[in-house]
Structure 1
């Protein structure tokens, strides 16, 4: 490899070559720009302020007497074939105020750069193991004055952390706008962190340090006070040194971490943290919190904590000792204790404490305040002491020691049902609360006045005597009431401003052994009466379900679409406004339903035979259950619904809706335009009777039959007579059997038939056909019909019927029904 020598006597710009170059500037004014290039170069500046660039190889850089700048670019440490530089550079200070600039152009992710006095080789691709040697000239006793990180980030690159370590001389170290670790080492150093969350080492000399922007740490080798020893720092970590040292925070939020000696950590104002979960102050330390919500990590009962209660704040100790400790008592002024490990017995003080146990079986003692005691996952023992205490349990066999008269206390759980009569709890706890979202967790009170509060799931709340306050929260809750003095609280639901009804929410039920009304409780929906004494239940404007007990009850629905179920006794049911449903267990129940449109469209549900004759203001009747039973309507429009057994549904007058159900039903429409719905089944054979019981009276309205099953259901015309068309348009008149559209069904007559040959009707023979029909209608037992393309089957049970098929009926011909007997009737 060629060695090139450059000797410059004036200000110049010199670029080295591929070999081991020697560049020397002999110029008193300086100002030269010197680059070594490849090879192991030796570059020496003049007396003036020169700029010297290191290149590839093991370079030696001497700035000369002036204020020189050394530029080291990490990306220069790669050959053309991608190999890393295995050498290292040496910078020899020869006077002046010099600065080293370390420059990185980031093109790869996750690199750490460490620059220090160890003399280790530079390897920018190995994290936390890259160094650049900074060597003072021992003969001239030169000084390295300033070192600066300069970061240039390419798009897509990611910077992690850079480490810069000075030497024993007074250095000036300047970080970047990223996360830097800066250590001046020996000497009276000046260190600037700039932006980023930096770590700056302090204490070898009389250092001046400035953390700059970001959440910065001081790693101190001696006492450090954030108020005077540095600026723009938040946290202190005391390094392992030869003696105990002190860390003092400021009026902001600080983290103060001690070493293994007996340290003093003083937080002053702010929400301060003393130690950490992983790096606790292992010595016998004295920690002073001051104002703010402070957190102490404690590993020994010998640690001293000073908190002045009058300074305010809510302070916490997290105890995680290295050896098992029997008892730890909260120091004066500290409110909270978290038992992390190796602590069996935690004791509070005179404040309102929050003590949380570990996974072990702890004993937690509250002291004199209003304490919150949470045992953790073990089977714990709680001692509340004076004050209004709260016990958090997750197992029913945990033990609570509470003396009567020592405050109004709570037991709380998100995992188990709570019963205040639990023998493990001594019977002296007044109140219970569920948390979380789990349903099917319940609350049971005691004989005293209890307060029970449910969670966001569906809970049952039972006060068990006393003047109780029950608050269900979210979910479909059940309240058990045993006295009218009980107070009920339910989550407010969304109410429609126009109707006054709940638009959305949960359905809550009251089980009451006393008379109960929901009129003032708009967020409740249902009442179930319990006990063996007749009671009264009253609803509100919501859709209520009111259920009686086995005695004669009175149920008032008021407004809303209510369900009233009397129970076993002879009950009085008053629906009020709305579409109400009466569920009867006996036909002896009394229903009071007023007439009028505003009173709604009401329904009776019953398992036995029932007639609406006595309930003129109830429109509908539904048979429930599986018993054979019948339903009869009134002279208004009724809806009768059968059950799964064989029912007889009789509509009587009015335009009725008759729904047969699953059984083999008999549907009797009666007068009016009835709608008949038959269940389509190959097993149940329904019979539909038109005009049954009407004798020869005229049925003038049109009936509609749905779900008529082929070959199974029967249309029974009884005494009904069918006349021919009165209009040539199909479906306009009442006498066109074809408009029934009963395909392959059965039309049944009471009497046997006499089949008459078909009469062909035309415009010329129409008078003679009419005369024939008129002459042969004997005893109202003749039927004239039209059969289209369908097949008709007639079932005859008598001997006097006459069936006449009419041919030739079309839009051009019609037959006047006036020519027939006046008793002829029409059906659609």
Structure 2
């Protein structure tokens, strides 16, 4: 960071190479030049000329008739006192006029990009009437301020009655004192009335509107608006769209109008009208009148807030009642109900009820889908017809669910009585605090628990038992069950369907039926019988466990106990393609895979002596005591000893762990990992993936023969690798080395300066050292990364991917369509070679200025880079300025507010995320739009030529796969026809919108503004899938 201070004389001040410069010019008629980094300039007194850098600068003219040039970047500019000239340049700039006294006579040109003008008229002595024009092409505002090429405005009004209307973009309007009239215009605007009885209208866009003090009249009009009335008796209308309305203090009137709105009266005696749509309404505190209107609405009320009058209106409505207590019967919807505080409601079909804790409540509902939470207490609940949810909580409860598909929850207290009624019903019973043994049984339609609990007419039952030796005697014809034993020696059985049985602690017996069950023995000496079906079985204990998985494709996991006790597991898998996993530990395992293609997975990482394992029909490991038979596939993880592992004919995974291991893959497509130690690895037949080391590369001297097949081999220093036959890929990792490494891969046989010997490989992935790497890849598709050092990397033939790394690098793509990355600043040279080549700056969060015709202008993330034979540029995460040459370029801005200029040739311009400025230049250009890249302002296309250029819609992100033609509606105020996804073109200003479902104004998003275009047809569009 550099700090530069001038004198009171006229002089020239220049910034430095530092990332931040602070320049104070003081007096005199000065010239100030920013340089490399982010500049903060205070020009001081005098008639000064100030130039920013390519970064986002802050420039202050101070006193005098100053001239400010923001250049590129998102700059902040303030001319100060005097008649100033302010030029934003490219980028999204903010130009501030602190007061009309400061700004009088100023000339402001925002330049390219979406710029904002901040104006403060609070000291002005008369009311203002201002209507912002679209594009602001040479508009003169109050105070003699000339403005053009500024799209966004931030305005603070006088203390009088101002009338201000925003433009086509996202404006911020503050009324201040007085009875103001503010209109948002187009765009997602922010309006604040301040004090006074204001009239506020959001108009188009999704606006945020704040009434402030006074009796305000507020309308959201179109879009998804947020409106807060604040202090005063406000009248608020949401308009179309999904609006959020809050009246604030005093007696307000709220109307949602169309759309699924959220209305909250807040304090005061409010009138809340939902209008059409599926609304959510609450009067808040006070004696409110709530009319939900048409649609399926939700009304929220807490007993004691006030004496409200609630009318659900038409539709299938819901009332949420908080604080209910005692006895209450909800009458049919058409009847009027009266709560204990005098609140009345009618035309409500469904209820969500939250009773007061600890009370003995008696609640009866009518038809409808009700949710009843009675909490603790000895409750009596009758839910009536409909699909209801009843949570009775703790207490000795009686629940009658009635007809419908009901869900009932019963708490910890014994003696509950529940009747599911007709329909497909489920009940969950909690008895985890029980200390004595419980017995569950079923007779006909009634299930009983031996603590005087009765469950009648339920199809699904879940019981969470306690510490006793619990027994499930019968399950009848239940659809499914869930039983958790927790403590005790439990005996649990399942149905013929998909069940969950968990024994918990103790010596448990679990017996499932023929469904796809989930079984867990828990701690203790367990016996598990899974039966038919594709079951998942777990037993992680140090006990003696017996598992019979039965038929089906089962997945079994066993391990030692969490306490460290060694398990002794006997597993029979029977028929099906099963997987048995033995977790880490030293316990014993005896398993029979049975028929089918079965997989055994063994974690032997805790073993310190070398083990030998060869997959065959019968395998024995002496220590630990493991006997296996009838397994066809293996996954094995060795310990620290010298292991000998051999796979079979299928796709195996062998990991030697520590020690000097010997691995042989067999004939499948195997994954072999030597891990630490000096390992010997043979891939055998098949397309194998071989790692000489594991997570820590360069750990040991490995000797690898990939065998036949198309193999991939990962090695580091001191390793020997032979790809043998097939088309093999070598991945070299030398990132921890400091030596200069040089090799040409064309023969596939070489010995670089790392005691590494390789041969018979056809393609390469390379991660270089911190020294100078000079590497030439193969004739196939390679991936090269230089890391630190002044590297020379050549891809050779093929579609190569090359990263530069730190240092002054030279990157050559050679022939093929190559992808080059710049990730570190240096004096770098990028030559794509023949083919259509790409240079990406996507790793940067620093802005880039890139000019393929005048590379002396390359700056920021592109500083020091020389580009040759590069056809495609991908920008950074920040705000870029990218300009092509006179050939056919593809320019992608990436994230940020980018400026793209194609110049000559048939160019493709893709702005990407945020709001971009696109200029195609000469040639048949394509402007590509991605739906997930759209933001509030959309892109600006400066030179679209009908009949020559195309507007390209990415069919994937716009959800229009398979489409061949757009639906286009044109006009001064076009409206979608309600027939699905549509594009809307405003002929008076060139704005192109997208309405995803064709439902109208509220859901549309701005795609782009086409400068100087008044007509558009479907032939101007084409579809594309972004690659």
For normalisation by structure 1, the TM-score amounts to 0.34
Between Structure 1 and Structure 2, whose CA radius of gyration is higher?
A: 1
TM-score normalised by structure 2 residue count: 0.28
